[in-house]
Amino acid sequence: MELYLDSANMKEIEEGFKLGFLDGLTTTPTFMQREGITDIDGTIVKLSKIVPVLQIEALGSTAEEIKKEALRQLNLGLDPKRTVFKIPVSLEGVRACKILRNEGLLVNVHLVYTLQQAYMAMHAGATYVCPLVGRLQDQGHDALTLVEQCVDAVNYYNYDTKIMFSSVRHNEHVRNAINIGVHTITVPLKVLKSLTENNFTQIGTEQFFRDTRMMMVKVKEAIRPVNPVVSSETTIKDALVKMTEYRFGTVIVTNKDGSVQGVFTDGDLRRLLQKDGDHVLNKKLKELEYKTPVSIDANALLNEAAALFKKTNVDNIMVTDGGKPCGMLDIQDLKND
């Protein structure tokens, strides 16, 4: 099934065709007017240079006028092998279709609302026949049955025509088109971008990234670019200031010789305040008692850190490099790159 973008917005068109596999672009005078385009010919020429196949309107009251307009547009420098002329279905429209097809030009007979209209376009040799699904459904008609009947007619009578599913409003329309077996679909960029989206896919992909990170990233690559170290001579009040500055709930307390005395956390602070009141804020950190801090080497993988967090049931682990503290690993750092 060919996949076309349906737009006249240059930013959308450039974004869509970066995918590299769209088959072409459909556009309309209404789209162009909506985008504020005044140089229609200039826009057509520009688009013809950036899309594989361009489908543009060839308007006229008679078949001769339609042919004249198509040839005028070709003379702008368009490639006849990569240009499809869109003609609204009518008696003169299908006559023009036959004339252009006899001259080897490509034609899309569109604005099709009935099987009879589609049949006339097929029999006139239309390259594409284009029912408008969204518009038909807006009017309460069974548009999907019409499209299916058009596909069946092409297949049954062996017409050299592709049925184009157009007026696409949402993701479900694309699924409908695939199920019916249409030959071509043209979709707005918003719908096109939604076709690969699925919540379960997103969840699974994120899990793969997290698991890969755990197996490949070292602890030193995950810790924040600060080393929350304070001297044991620091007061608890100043340690609290440092915690705020570092945006950590933990500081590493070191002795004068650089050895680690322990780790002081905001949990320790809350317990001291509850027990002894706010006068403890003027105490120095060296006056406190510490448990041996949980530590891990900076070159360990995050998987090892995760196992250590689980084993010790702590929220922070001291990271050492060559035996010296170089930072703290928060349990949240395992989740955030």
Catalytic center residues: 86
Structure-token pair, residue 189: 């960029």
Residue found by looking up tokens 């009017």 in the block: 139
Phi and psi at residue 282, in whole multiples of 5°?
-90, -5
Using alpha carbons, select from 183, 180, 178, 169 the residue that is nearest to residue 133.
169
Strand order through the sheet with 250-254: 229-231, 250-254, 260-265
Please report, in angstroms and rounded to a whole number, the separation of the first and last CA atoms in the chain.
40
Alpha carbons 23 and 54: distance in angstroms, whole number: 9
Q: How many Cβ atoms from other residues are within 10 Å of residue 42's Cβ?
A: 11
